[in-house]
Structure 1
Amino acid sequence: MCNLFKYIVVAAALLLLGPCTVTKCMAFGSPPSSETTMHTNNWAVLVCTSRFWFNYRHMANTLSLYRTVKRLGIPDERIILMLADDMACNARNKYPAQVFNNENHRLNLYGDNVEVDYRGYEVTVENFLRVLTGRHENAVPRSKRLLSDEGSHILLYMTGHGGDEFLKFQDSEELQSHDLADAVKQMKEKHRFKELLIMVDTCQAATLFSQLQSPGVLAIGSSMKGENSYSHHLDSDVGVSVVDRFTFYTLAFFERLNMYDNASLSSLFNSYNPTLLMSTAYYRTDLYQQHLEEVGKF
C-alpha cells in the first residue's frame, strides 16, 4: 500500500510509507526533490482501551492495525502501542501467547516482534493524553513518547467501548470528547503534527469528534450517534469474537492494495457498506483543507 496519503491515512491499515510519484507528492503541496520521494515522518498511536477476555476483539483490532502499519514501513520507534489487557496470556486462551483475528489461525498477531509501549493498568486516560501532548514525567523513556514535530503525519487509532461523546478506558474511566479536542489543540499549538488522522472503532464513535476544532485533522468513526458498532465473527475455538466489523473492512480495503497502488482517501470512505458494517461510518473533513480525492493517493 502506498502512503495512504502523504499523511498516513493509514487509517487502519494505513498505507503510508511507500515511495510516491511526483504527481502524488505534488497533490500534497510539497514538491519532491526527485522523481520519487519517501514520506518518512509518519507516526502511529494505536490504543486498545478494553480489559477482560470478552473484549478479545479490541486487542485483535489494535494488533491488526499495528501489523499493517509496520508492514507498510513505519518502524516500532515511531509507533506507540497501548494495550489495556494481555489476551495472549489469559488463562482462557486456548492458544497461549497468540492472538488471532481469523478462524484459520494462520497469522499470529502477537508474534515475537510486537513491542508494547503501555500495557495493562498503564493504559489510562492520563497516560494517553500525556502521549499526545508530550507532557511526560522526566523518568518516562523516549521509547514511550510520541516524538513528532510540525512536519509529522500521525495516525491515531482507538478501539474499545464508547457512548455519546466518550470512550471508556479499563471499564473504570472515560475519555470525553472535550478531552480529546483539548489534547489535539495542544498538539497543534506545540507543533506536534502537520496532519492528524483519527480513527475510532466504538459505539457512537462520531460523537467523540464533536469538539474538535484544530486544523489539519481528519476523523473517521465506525458509527453515528445512537448507533452501536458490531463484531464481525466469532471464533468457536477461542470462544469470543475476534475482530470488529469496521476494523475488519478497513483492513480488507488495505490488504487489496500494495505499496505502489494509487488510491484516494475518498475511495476508503466509499468502500464502507452500511449493510456490512451494520452501522453508518462517519467522516469529519471540515478541518482538513484539501479535497479528499487529492489526499493520499494511496
Structure 2
Amino acid sequence: MKLVLCLALSVVLAVNASPVFEQEAQGQTWVLLCSGGIGWSNYAISANVYHAYQTVKKQGIPEKNIVVMHYDDLALNKANPTQGKIVNALDGEDVYAGVPKDYVGADVTPKNFLAILRGDPTLKAQGKKVIESGPNDKVFVYFMDHGSVGSVLFPKGYLYADELNTQLKQMNTDKKFAQLVFYLEACDSGSMFEKHLPTDINVYAITSSKYNELSWMCTHDTVRKTYLGGFFGVTWLNDSEANDPQIEILDKQYAYIVEHNNFTMDKETHTQHSQHYGDLSIAHQHVSEFLGPKKVPAAFNQVHHDNVEYVNIRDVPIKLAEKNIASTDDLYEKQIYVDELARLLKGREYVDTHLYEYVNSIQQFTAMETEQLLNSKLELSEDMSCYKKFVDTFHNRCFNLNENTYAFGKIGVFNNICNQMVYEGAVDIAVEYLAQYCDNHVALFQSNIE
C-alpha cells in the first residue's frame, strides 16, 4: 500500500513540476526601452517609450525584467499643462504613470545603453538594473531618438552602427540570448543595421525607415503645443494592442507597419519605408515571445491614421514655431514665436554655410562635386573608421551634436566624402583641415541649432 502511495505521489509531483522545468528550459523575456529624447519639442520620443513600457507590462513582462532609460524632463516640465502626466495620443491616457527611473538624466548614455544590454556586472554591483539574460532567454529592445547616417543620438554622446552591431555579435558569442529583437525609430535608422547586422547571430531588427530616409512624428496637440507620438512607434504599439500576441507573429506585425507607413499631408504622399534585417526566420515567432503573452484591451492611445498630422522629426522645432505664430492673436506672444523661428532658421543657415565652405575647400580630394557631396545620401561603408574621424572632429571642434540636432542631421556629408576620397592619404589631411576650419571660423559656443 505504501509503495502504491509513493508511486502515485511521485507521479503527481512529476506532473506538477513539469511546467516549471519547461519554463526554465524556455527561458525568460527581457525588455530594454530607451528614449534618447530631451526637451519639450522631443515630447513624442519619450511618450512612445512610456507607451511601450505600459504595453509590455500589461502583456505580462515582469517589472524585474524591464529596464527603462529616459531623460525624464517632461512630466514636471513648466510647459506641461497636465503636470505629472504624459500622453501618446489626443485624449489619451497617462503613459507616464509607474514608469521606473532606472536610468534618467545624465545616466542616459550610449555607454550605459550597451552595458545594460550585455548585463554589465559593474552596473549590477552598483545596484542598477541590467538585462541579465542567458542562453535560453528572449530579449526585446526599443530605442527612439534622432538619427543620422550610421548613428543615433543620446542626451549626451551618440552611438555608432558598428559599435552596436559589434556588441550584438559578442553577446551572441557569449550566449547572452536565444534570440534578440530590436525595434529602432530614428531618421536614417536602416543605416544602423544595413551591411552591419549579420544574418546568423539570432538577431532580428526592424527600423522605422531606410538608410537614407527621414522618420516622422505625428499628432500635434494644440494644448501641449507639441507632437505626441512617433509614427513608427504608435503604429507597432497600436498593432500590438489590437491583436492577440500568442496568435500574431512578428512578420505579420512588420507587414502591418509597412502597410501603414504611407500617409498624405498637404495633398502630398509621404512614406517612411520600414525595413527589417538580420535573421528573418525569427519573424515567424509569435509576438508574445518578445512582448509578453497577455491580450490586453486596446488603450485609449490608439492613433487613427485618417485624422493625424505628421512632421519629419528634424523639422519639429520649425513646425512648432510656425504653429505657435498662427495660434495666437497676442502681438507680444506672437513676436516671441517669430523671434524663435528666426533664430532657428538663422542657426540652420549658419550650419549650412560653414558646411558648404568646408566641403568646397576639400572638394579636390574627392570624386564628387560639392553640391553632390552635400545633398547625396550614399550607403554607409562597412568600415566606418574614416567616417568616425570626421564626425568626432565635427562634434569636438565644430558643433556639439547633442546641442545642435540640425548639425547632427548633416553628418551624412562626411560619409559621402569618405566614399568619394580619391586616395586614402587624403582622409587625415581633410580631417585636420576640418578641425582647423572650425577653430578659425565656427563659434563652438553655438547651441540649440535644431
**Could you state the TM-score of these two structures normalised by the residue count of structure 2?**
0.54
Partners of 2:287 and 2:108 lie apart in 1 by 34
**1:19 corresponds to which residue?**
none
Q: Does 1:59 align with 2:46?
A: yes
Q: Pick from 181, 187, 196: which aligns with 2:171?
A: 187
Partners of 2:163 and 2:287 lie apart in 1 by 32
Deviations, residues 43-93 of structure 1 (Å, cap 9, x unaligned): 100000121111010000100111100011001110110002321011111
Name segments (4+ residues, structure 1) moved above 6 Å.
none
Q: Pick from 203, 217, 237: which aligns with 2:223?
A: 237
Partners of 1:291 and 1:229 lie apart in 2 by 25
Partners of 1:122 and 1:176 lie apart in 2 by 18
Partners of 1:291 and 1:174 lie apart in 2 by 28
Q: Does 1:281 align with 2:274?
A: yes
Q: Pick from 24, 27, 31: which aligns with 1:44?
A: 31
| Residue correspondence of structure 1 range 156-235 to structure 2 within 5 A | 156-170=141-155, 172-210=156-194, 211-213=196-198, 215-235=201-221
| Residue correspondence of structure 1 range 8-27 to structure 2 within 5 A | none
**2:406 corresponds to which residue?**
none
| Residue correspondence of structure 1 range 147-162 to structure 2 within 5 A | 147-162=132-147
**1:296 corresponds to which residue?**
286
Compared CA separation, residues 116 and 68, structure 1 to 2 (3 A)? same
1:226 offset after TM fit, Å? 1.7
User: Which structure has more RCO (C-alpha within 8 Å, separation ≥ 6)?
Assistant: 1
Compared CA separation, residues 138 and 75, structure 1 to 2 (3 A)? closer
**1:146 corresponds to which residue?**
131
Give the unaligned 5+ runs of structure 1.
1-32
Compared CA separation, residues 40 and 88, structure 1 to 2 (3 A)? farther
Q: Pick from 81, 92, 111: which aligns with 2:79?
A: 92
1:143 offset after TM fit, Å? 4.7
Native 8 Å contact 1:81 1:117 kept in 2? yes
1:138 offset after TM fit, Å? 6.1
**1:266 corresponds to which residue?**
251
Q: Does 1:128 align with 2:128?
A: no
1:192 offset after TM fit, Å? 1.1
Q: Which has the larger radius of gyration?
A: 2
1:97 offset after TM fit, Å? 0.7
The range that moved more, 195-204 or 113-122, is 113-122
Compared CA separation, residues 297 and 229, structure 1 to 2 (3 A)? closer
| Code of the aligned partner of 2:101 | V
Native 8 Å contact 2:31 2:140 kept in 1? yes
Partners of 2:52 and 2:168 lie apart in 1 by 21
- SS at structure 2 position matched to 1:137: helix
Deviations, residues 229-288 of structure 1 (Å, cap 9, x unaligned): 00111111111001011111111111211355x122221111122313730000114x35
1:146 offset after TM fit, Å? 1.2
- SS at structure 2 position matched to 1:242: strand
Partners of 1:229 and 1:138 lie apart in 2 by 33
The range that moved more, 270-279 or 247-256, is 270-279
Partners of 1:84 and 1:191 lie apart in 2 by 31
Native 8 Å contact 1:77 1:143 kept in 2? no
Compared CA separation, residues 257 and 130, structure 1 to 2 (3 A)? same
Partners of 2:230 and 2:221 lie apart in 1 by 12
**1:72 corresponds to which residue?**
59
RMSD: 2.0
1:137 offset after TM fit, Å? 2.3
Task: Give the share of equivalent positions with the same residue, in percent.
Answer: 25
Native 8 Å contact 1:76 1:115 kept in 2? no
Compared CA separation, residues 139 and 46, structure 1 to 2 (3 A)? closer
Deviations, residues 19-56 of structure 1 (Å, cap 9, x unaligned): xxxxxxxxxxxxxx67xx76660010000012111101
Partners of 2:64 and 2:79 lie apart in 1 by 32
